Amino acid sequence: MTGTGKFFVGGNWKCNGTTESIKKLVGELNDGKFEESVEVVVAPPFLYIGQVIGSLTDRIAVSAQNSWVGKGGAFTGEISADQLVDAGVKWVIQGHSERRHVIGESNETIGKKSAYALSKGLGVIACVGEKLEERESNRTTDVVFEQLQAYADAISDWSNVVIAYEPVWAIGTGKVASPEQAQEVHAAIRSWLGDKISPDLASATRIIYGGSVNGANCAELAKKEDIDGFLVGGASLKGPEFVTICNAVISKKASA
């Protein structure tokens, strides 16, 4: 079974950028020549979302990096999906390993946050992935399926969900899962979706890879049948390189 959805590339800027550096990056993205057959999204820090939406080409949608579990109120430091929609944001990243393992969010919390964001019309980039010790003890699929189940327990409509497989040991480390390693997990995720949700959903859902993706390795990764795009960290802060990664869809089509 292979994916049928449009190639999808997200740029997660994480906690990086200044007014000036983001102005430069947006300029580079506005000048970029993107293949028509790729959906492109960038996720600036909350502080700069207004600046980015006000200056970025309509060709690229804007995502938030996180959102609160419900609507607004007395939740100091949080931002609700309602506010993101009001600001023109189209997507939100949920369950990123840094939220799980640095901030301490549970699978259950991530599922609830995702469901609330979806209920407000946001698309959700739902992250899953194992730590190095979990991979070394052959628990990769156990961990990933447990994380997927927490999303499934909360989400009823998956049509606006993109799943991002991000092995924690490959994020920001320079270590990349080999195309074969990534394909193996992506195929397992698609099979899980087919078994637990529906075969139609399994083929329609984009499953993207994240973890030290760059201009040099994106083409080989894109050739794998179950890799439907990327969630890019550090390389998304370099406009021309990010455009190259988005256009890896050419390799995808060539190998189809």
Q: Along the 256 residues of the chain, how does pLDDT read in single tens digits? A: 566 789 999 999 999 999 999 999 999 999 999 999 999 999 999 999 999 999 999 999 999 999 999 999 999 999 999 999 999 999 999 999 999 999 999 999 999 999 999 999 999 999 999 999 999 999 999 999 999 999 999 999 999 999 999 999 998 888 889 999 999 999 999 999 999 999 999 999 999 999 999 999 999 999 999 999 999 999 999 999 999 999 999 998 888 7
Q: Which amino acid, one-letter code, is at 245?
A: I
Query: Residue 238 burial (CB < 10 Å; 0-12/13-18/19+)?
Result: middle
Asked if residues 164 and 151 have their Cβ atoms less than 8 Å apart, the reply is: no
Nearest Cα residue to 206 out of 119, 110, 126: 126
Spatial separation of the C-alpha atoms in residues 12 and 9, rounded to whole Å: 10
101 catalytically annotated: no
Among residues 98, 105, 134, 166, the one annotated as catalytic is 166
Q: What is the pLDDT of residue 171?
A: 84
What pLDDT shows up at residue 174? 83
pTM for this predicted structure: 0.97
Give Cα 67 distance to the centre of its chain: 14
Q: Which of 96, 98, 186, 241 is catalytic?
A: 96
Q: How far apart are CA 33 and CA 31, in angstroms?
A: 7
User: DSSP state, 6?
Assistant: P
Write down all domains in the chain, each with its CATH number in brackets: 7-255 (3.20.20.70)
Write down the pLDDT at residue 3.
Answer: 65
Determine the pLDDT at residue 175.
83
**CA 179 – CA 165 distance, rounded (Å):** 13
